[in-house]
Amino acid sequence: MQMERKKIFDRLRRIEGQVRGLQRLVENEAECVEILVQLAAVTAAMKRTGTAIISIYMEKCLTDASKNPDKGLEELKGALKQFIDAS
> Which pLDDT tens digit goes with each residue over 4-33?
889 999 999 999 999 999 999 999 999 999
CB 19 within 8 A of CB 53: no
- Rounded to 5°, angle at Cα 87 from 23 and 35: 25
CA distance 87 to 28: 28
pLDDT band at 46 (very low <50, low <70, confident <90, very high): very high
Kindly report the number of other CB atoms within 10 A of residue 38's CB atom.
19
CA of residue 3 relative to chain centroid, distance: 18
Alpha helices of 28-68 — where are they, by DSSP H?
32-67
On the question of pLDDT at 61 being above 80, the answer is: no
